[in-house]
Amino acid sequence: MSTAETSQDAARTRLPSRWSVGAVVIAVVVVLPILSVVWIALFPSENIWPHLIATTLPRYLWNTGVLMVGVGLLSAMVGTGAAWLVSRYDFPGRASLEWLLLLPLAIPAYVGAYALVDFLEYAGPVQTAMRGLFGWQSARDYWFPEIRSMGAAIIVLTAAQFPYVYLLTRNAFREQSAASEEVAQSLGAGALGRFWRVGLPLARPAIAAGVAIVMMESVNDFGTVDYFAVQTLTTGIFSTWLEANNAGGAAQIASVVLFLVIFLVLLEKVSRRKMQFFNLSTRHRPVARKALSGRMAYLAMIACALPFAMGFVLPAGVILSHAWDNADNWVDPELWKAVLHTLTVGGLAAVITVLAGVFLVYGVRLSGRKLPRLLLPVTTIGYAAPGAVLGVGILIPLAALDNFIADGIWAATGWDPGLVLTGTAFALVLAYCVRFFAIGQGAADAAMGRVSPNLALAARSLGRNQGQVLVDVYYPLMRSSVASALLLVFVDCVKELPATLLLRPFNYDTLATRVHEQASLEALGEAAPAAILVILVGLSAVGLLARANR
């Protein structure tokens, strides 16, 4: 072989493969909206940092901090307490409540907010019954707590999100050994002492991870805080951008949200890194549940049933009641148009997200280069970034690109194509893909990690190329994981509200935006059918989650 041929072969081997290039492109597309938020915040067309700091930003920060801390603490108490009871004790209904406590995840927090206000407001069943029972004539005759308030927002968000803490903590309690409990009991520690000195310290990393997730979801929430008139950083993005018409200011507020989210992500990562349980004995025995009787058994049942009732039974019951009383709304053409839009954008985003996640993970595994491997964990930041932040990071640069393309085509041909990117559902699908890319990537990474590399090497030795190995070897073995990821991404797309409100085209409703708009107009009867459909979709994901955590 000549020297020239050798150098050509060496040059070809140094060139990145199409899998590596594709993986880098996908990672860049996922990370770019986050970077654009930072860029716009640092170099806005109009710097309003001094105005924000002097006026609204302290209030947004304070309310967001109170909301995060309140929801985090309450979720920690409810989730940890319920997890301890179902994992350590037997009482009536325990086997059912162990799984029923996951059902509040199927109810979006904004749906719970609408249901709670409808149930407790002046014309609702609670106050109506009170007036009838005590003979009161008007609101001046009695005192009732303010429903649309910070406290109510904390309760609603806790009711919808405590299962994150409950699920992680229950798994941590399950993994603890009976030996530590027996040692503590032999030293005279009672039930409460064993909880404080043994169970809780060992489960602390799981609790911290769950609380971090809950706090991130609280920062992301828009529907609940907007309905309760609580001004947070997320509502500040909407008001600064849509009402004050200041995109730079919205980006600057979004950058503050992004900083908070990154801090919570780091907290969650540190907690998970510490979430390690070592069994020094080869005969690991789980802690045997203790049977409760009498009053204690029923108190434990009530303690677990109350969060389930608040997080699922109440909102689902109120929504079902309105759907039943307003059955004619089920034939509203606008409802089924919203269903079609939801299926279209959610289904398309789910397919693109999971396929891109599989391609990225496979490309990184094939590549021996550092850049794709460094970008792989960075792509998960989109899942933590609130939808409103992604809306800012996607719409502003995409609108500039859209106008540039349209102006170029107009100058060259005299034909105005309109806004192809932001005038259609393209921006919405892109936001969903970025927001939930971590689900597709995580499922693909876990599934591929379970496939032996020897199978791929055997297929390559039989003449299969890299693409054929992915289709013929990996896909059949990871089919169930891919299907689960598709479902989870689709469900999250259906429930996503802030990004949908910012990025949807004009007069383009999804189920989530229809629920929000109708409920904001106090027309809960018209919002009920769409809310029922959102809840049913959420139940499918909760069923999958329960099956995976048996």
Task: Tokens for 442, please give them.
Answer: 């995580």
Provide φ and ψ at 239, rounded to 5°: -70, -40
pLDDT number for residue 398: 86
Q: How many CB atoms lie within 10 A of CB 45?
A: 9
Assign 8 a pLDDT band (cuts: 50, 70, 90): very low
pLDDT number for residue 180: 64
pLDDT digit string, tens, across residues 426-456: 999 999 999 998 888 888 888 888 887 888 8
Provide φ and ψ at 248, rounded to 5°: -65, -40
Q: What is the pTM of this model?
A: 0.85
CATH number for the segment(s) 326-550: 1.10.3720.10
Residue 290 parent element (H or E): strand 290-291
Give the Cα separation of 346 and 353 in Å (integer).
Answer: 10
DSSP SS3 for 286: strand
The residues near 454 (Cβ < 8 Å, ≥ 6 apart) are: none
* Mean pLDDT (the chain, rounded): 84
CATH number for the segment(s) 57-230+298-321: 1.10.3720.10
Assign 7 a pLDDT band (cuts: 50, 70, 90): very low
Check whether 12 has a pLDDT greater than 50. no
Check whether 226 has a pLDDT greater than 70. yes
pLDDT digit string, tens, across residues 329-353: 899 999 999 999 999 999 999 999 9
Provide φ and ψ at 174, rounded to 5°: -65, -35
**Mean pLDDT calculated for residue range 476-502:** 88
pLDDT number for residue 379: 80
Fold agreement between 57-230+298-321 and 326-550: yes
**Cα separation values, 393 from 119, 303, 498, 513, Å:** 38, 43, 13, 20
pLDDT number for residue 109: 92
Angle of the 437-449 helix axis to the 479-495 helix axis, nearest 10: 170
β-strands 290-291, 89-90 pairing: parallel
Of 172-181, 239-248, 371-380, minimum mean pLDDT range: 172-181
pLDDT digit string, tens, across residues 59-71: 999 999 999 999 9
Provide φ and ψ at 90, rounded to 5°: -110, 130
Show me where the domains of the chain are located: 57-230+298-321, 326-550
Pinpoint the alpha helices (H) of 275-328: 294-308, 314-325
Give the chain's count of helices (H) and strands (E).
29, 2
The residues near 221 (Cβ < 8 Å, ≥ 6 apart) are: 109, 110, 157, 232, 234
Give the Cα separation of 238 and 67 in Å (integer).
Answer: 18
**Cα separation values, 33 from 69, 234, 271, 476, Å:** 28, 17, 27, 34
Assign 461 a pLDDT band (cuts: 50, 70, 90): confident
User: Are 345 and 493 contacting, i.e. CB atoms less than 8 angstroms apart?
Assistant: yes
Of 1-15, 119-133, 495-509, minimum mean pLDDT range: 1-15
Task: Tokens for 176, please give them.
Answer: 């603890």
Higher-confidence residue: 10 or 87? 87
DSSP string for residues in 412-455: HHS-----TTTSSTHHHHHHHHHHTHHHHHHHHHHHHHTS-HHH
Residue 90 parent element (H or E): strand 89-90
Check whether 89 has a pLDDT greater than 90. no
Higher-confidence residue: 10 or 303? 303
- What is the distance in angstroms between the CA of the first residue and the CA of the last residue of the chain? 61
- The conformational region for residue 190 under phi > 0 = left, psi -120 to 50 = alpha, else beta, is beta
Task: Tokens for 67, please give them.
Answer: 């909301």
Residue with tokens 């909880």: 195
pLDDT number for residue 9: 45
Residues in the chain: 550
**Mean pLDDT calculated for residue range 177-194:** 61
Residue 200 parent element (H or E): helix 200-220
User: Are 75 and 233 contacting, i.e. CB atoms less than 8 angstroms apart?
Assistant: no
**Mean pLDDT calculated for residue range 160-181:** 81
pLDDT number for residue 37: 87
DSSP SS3 for 89: strand
- Report for 47-56, 214-223, 303-312, 391-400: range of highest mean pLDDT: 303-312
pLDDT number for residue 335: 92
Assign 181 a pLDDT band (cuts: 50, 70, 90): low
